Chain A
Amino acid sequence: MRAYLPSYELKTPVDLSEALKFLADEPGVWKPFAGGTDLMVVFETGKLQHKRFVSIWSLKELRGIEVTPEHITLGALTTYTEVQGNEILQREFPLLCQAASETGGLAIQNRGTLGGNVANASPAGDSPPALLVYDAQLELVSSTGSRLVPYNGFHTGYKQMLMRPDELIKSIRLPRTGEPWRQYYRKVGTRKAQAISKICFAGLAQLDGEQIKDIRIAVGSVAPVVVRCLRTEDALKGRKVDAAAVSAARAELAREISPIDDIRSTANYRLQVAMNVLEEFLINL
């Protein structure tokens, strides 16, 4: 059944401080609404439980990409189109650009935002695996101040996150390591455009000769949250990439993820494909 329009409220604050005042004055009553590419889908089916929203789409304080020698800071409203068009991101954070290019189609990429993708907290989001391997941090802001939190660990369960009702995501910060990472991203969906992931994988590695000096792995759509696979990384660090290492890594990954059957895929398919994609990443290093 379609949504009953009069029961939903959407307000446009004049600036960020007014938006934060909405969230602070009645905690939990108002929620931020960005580009709408996720919320409007739920809304249209009549299943959007929450009723009152603050439209943050027009807030300039949440836009723009700032570059310092240490970090790139992306305003929470940075769209997928803006991510793809940024030259520094293309050069240093290509997995995020690839994730952005494989999210929806152009019309979705023009409205979908990185902050929205994080706050929607779907385990099937395309950008979170890339954000996890880049050790992203989130700047959360409220009317009483702001704080920086690591993105890894931010999602604590399905659609659960470590954010108070009076806070919103102001920006996403990516540390620039300057190190020569080999980078790999693979989204497996039903078709190239518009599909929601069956699994989604991001990997970074640095080699010292034939040995893996450092490695970072994150996988989406295989657990209640997107998973940074620290145990699989530990199983690979310091090892030469040979058949034994690949086999050990596959086994560790299988223990570290917990895929389920749902409308898009099955637990077994996801497990097999996650292990195969990990192997493809490793043997091509």
Chain B
Amino acid sequence: MPDASRKVEINCTVNGERQTLHAYPMARLLDALREELRLTGTKEGCGEGECGACSVLVDGALVNSCLVPVLQVEGAEIKTIEGIASSEQLHAVQQAFITCGGAQCGICTPGMIIAAVNLLERTPEPNEAEIRTGLAGNLCRCTGYMRIFEAVVHACQSTEAKS
């Protein structure tokens, strides 16, 4: 069967910088971020939308970048884990993961932090059920979740203390 497609140009904004990606239209956003832009903070876990390791924000919405064909981010604003800290200053969620021991092997951590940051943007003072729902699409196989929940609670408290 002859090849159906050629690489196309996709213009989007990634972590505040305009980018032009050159990719096959069905290429996964995950691969374009990691391989073309060398933003390897976004991880691949299951590759089928179940584990959340590849979570990024597209126009402010949490998505699994393994399930988004790159053609569909034309004109979009994308935020990856590399765009969460502001220069040398860690985001409150990142600092809280360190303080509370919310990371062990680290594979789920970028996705967890993206999901937690997104949760706090939508719900600045989440209750426990809201934290569980906000992170329900992110699997961790080693910390056991309790320290991750504690980190999210701690991040809310430290954000409150600052404001």
Residues of B within 8 A of A41 (CB): 48-49, 67
Smallest CB separation, B62 vs chain A (Å): 5
- Binary contact readout A156-197 vs B (1 if CB under 8 angstroms, 0 otherwise): 000000000000000000000000000000000000111000
Q: How many A-B residue pairs have CB under 8 A?
A: 106
* B48 and A9 contacting across the interface, CB-CB below 8 Å: no
A-B complex: 5 closest residue pairs judged by Cβ atoms? A105-B137, A193-B136, A9-B4, A5-B24, A10-B25
Smallest CB separation, A83 vs chain B (Å): 15
The residue of chain A having its C-beta at the shortest distance from the C-beta of B50 within the complex is A194
Smallest CB separation, B97 vs chain A (Å): 19
From B1, B3, B48, B115, give the contact of A106 (CB < 8 A).
Answer: B115
What band does the interface of chain B fall in when counting residues whose beta carbon is under 8 Å from A? Answer: 35 or more
Q: Does A58 interact with chain B (Cβ within 8 Å)? A: yes
* B62 and A110 contacting across the interface, CB-CB below 8 Å: yes
Q: Does B64 interact with chain A (Cβ within 8 Å)? A: yes
* B interface majority secondary structure: loop
Query: Which B residues form the contact surface with A (CB < 8 A)?
Result: 1, 3-6, 24-28, 47-50, 52, 55, 61-64, 66-69, 71-72, 74, 115, 118, 133-134, 136-139
* A106 and B134 contacting across the interface, CB-CB below 8 Å: yes
| 20 contacts across the A-B interface (CB closer than 8 A) | A7-B5, A8-B24, A10-B26, A12-B72, A35-B67, A37-B49, A40-B28, A40-B68, A41-B49, A44-B48, A81-B61, A105-B138, A106-B115, A106-B118, A107-B64, A108-B49, A108-B67, A111-B68, A194-B50, A194-B136
Q: Does A154 interact with chain B (Cβ within 8 Å)? A: no
* A111 and B67 contacting across the interface, CB-CB below 8 Å: yes
Smallest CB separation, A60 vs chain B (Å): 14
* B63 and A5 contacting across the interface, CB-CB below 8 Å: no
Q: Does A238 interact with chain B (Cβ within 8 Å)? A: no
* B4 and A107 contacting across the interface, CB-CB below 8 Å: no
* B61 and A110 contacting across the interface, CB-CB below 8 Å: yes
CA distance A6 to B137 in the complex (A): 31
Smallest CB separation, B13 vs chain A (Å): 16
